[in-house]
């Protein structure tokens, strides 16, 4: 996929208000990743939610660990929503939540994950749910994580891989063969190879997840509400003709009992930065 950063920031920013209501897959993958952080994170730690979006997991990380937590995102619209949401929730009756959302605990930073304005070895935990697949240079993101993590620091990254939205891709290919309509995804083999090159001994797992929808249009609407529609630089500037859209819907494979499914090839990466080995004197 080649989407400009401007298109990524603008599409996600415009979707900030509808995002959390549509984020079924994002919650499923984010919750699974959160559950892998078994090691206690000390309260003196710094936690980064990379590609935080509306702050769905930034708030959870702050509440769970009580550590200084920074939500980083490229999209100013997402960050404005996250800040407003945090402010509103900080007045909630739950003491733990309102403490976690105080500005001393939670901060928001507009930045590109490929060039983080964070000091070397300054972060104890980086959590990044479904952000890296939007980056031109995933290797650059992993290198930045390697740079800013302290020795012993933990990294959790989730992504989507080749095979994601394959039914939609096939239905569009039949309906509109000369135009791409679905974002491209890196293969599991390529992502795993990139990862181990930069982060030796990283652990990696993947799984096919399917979600049900009543119709292909419901899937298209969900992608729009998430801000996750097709963003390639070659996307049509004008709306797709209704006839093509109708043809895509007719080509989409139906389930025997009605409705459709969409496949998502989910990948999760876990890594811990090695502790520095003490120098020995002979």
Ligand X SMILES: C[S@@+](CC[C@H](N)C(=O)[O-])C[C@H]1O[C@@H](n2cnc3c(N)ncnc32)[C@H](O)[C@@H]1O
Chain residues in the site for ligand X (CB under 6 A)? 8-9, 12, 23, 26, 30, 51-53, 56-57, 72-75, 78, 112-114, 129-131, 134-135, 228
Number of helices (H), then strands (E), belonging to the chain: the values are 11, 7
Half-sphere exposure of 176 (CA within 13 A, CB side): 19
CA angle 136, 138, 142 (to 5 degrees): 145
Nearer to ligand X, 160 or 175 (CB): 160
Nearer to ligand X, 112 or 124 (CB): 112
User: What's the CA gap between 155 and 55, in Å, rounded?
Assistant: 18
Q: How far is the CB of 77 from ligand X (least distance, A)?
A: 8
Q: How far is the CB of 112 from ligand X (least distance, A)?
A: 5
Say which DSSP state 21 is in: H
By CB atoms closer than 10 A (0-12, 13-18, 19+), residue 272 is middle
Contact 41, 67 (CB under 8 A): yes
User: In the chain, where does DSSP find H-type helix?
Assistant: 5-14, 16-22, 24-34, 56-65, 76-89, 95-100, 138-148, 166-175, 188-198, 216-226, 242-251
Say which DSSP state 133 is in: G
Nearer to ligand X, 130 or 149 (CB): 130
Q: How far is the CB of 29 from ligand X (least distance, A)?
A: 8
Nearer to ligand X, 77 or 245 (CB): 77
Q: How far is the CB of 184 from ligand X (least distance, A)?
A: 15
Nearer to ligand X, 231 or 273 (CB): 231
Q: How far is the CB of 263 from ligand X (least distance, A)?
A: 17
């Amino acid at each position: 996929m080649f989407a400009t950063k401007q298109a990524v920031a603008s599409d996600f920013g415009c979707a900030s208000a509808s995002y959390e209501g549509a984020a079924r897959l994002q919650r499923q993958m984010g919750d699974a990743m959160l559950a892998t952080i078994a090691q206690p994170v000390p309260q003196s730690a710094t936690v980064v939610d990379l590609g935080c979006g509306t702050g769905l997991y930034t708030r959870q990380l702050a509440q769970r660990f009580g550590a200084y937590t920074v939500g980083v995102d490229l999209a100013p619209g997402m960050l404005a929503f996250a800040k407003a949401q945090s402010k509103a929730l900080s007045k909630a009756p739950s003491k733990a939540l309102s403490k976690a959302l105080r500005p001393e605990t939670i901060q928001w930073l507009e930045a590109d994950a490929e060039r983080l304005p964070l000091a070397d070895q300054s972060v104890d935990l980086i959590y990044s749910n479904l952000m890296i697949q939007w980056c031109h240079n995933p290797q650059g993101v992993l290198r930045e994580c390697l740079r800013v993590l302290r020795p012993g620091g933990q990294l959790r990254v989730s992504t989507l891989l080749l095979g994601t939205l394959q039914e939609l891709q096939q239905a569009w290919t039949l309906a509109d063969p000369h135009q791409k309509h679905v974002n491209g995804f890196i293969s599991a083999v390529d992502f795993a190879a990139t990862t181990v090159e930069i982060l030796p001994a990283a652990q990696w797992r993947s799984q096919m997840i399917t979600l049900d929808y009543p119709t292909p249009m419901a899937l298209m609407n969900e992608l729009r509400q998430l801000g996750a529609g097709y963003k390639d630089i070659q996307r049509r500037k004008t709306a797709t003709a209704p006839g093509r859209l109708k043809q895509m819907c007719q080509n989409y494979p139906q389930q025997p009992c009605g409705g459709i499914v969409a496949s998502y090839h989910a990948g999760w990466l876990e890594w811990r930065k090695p502790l520095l080995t003490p120098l020995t004197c002979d």
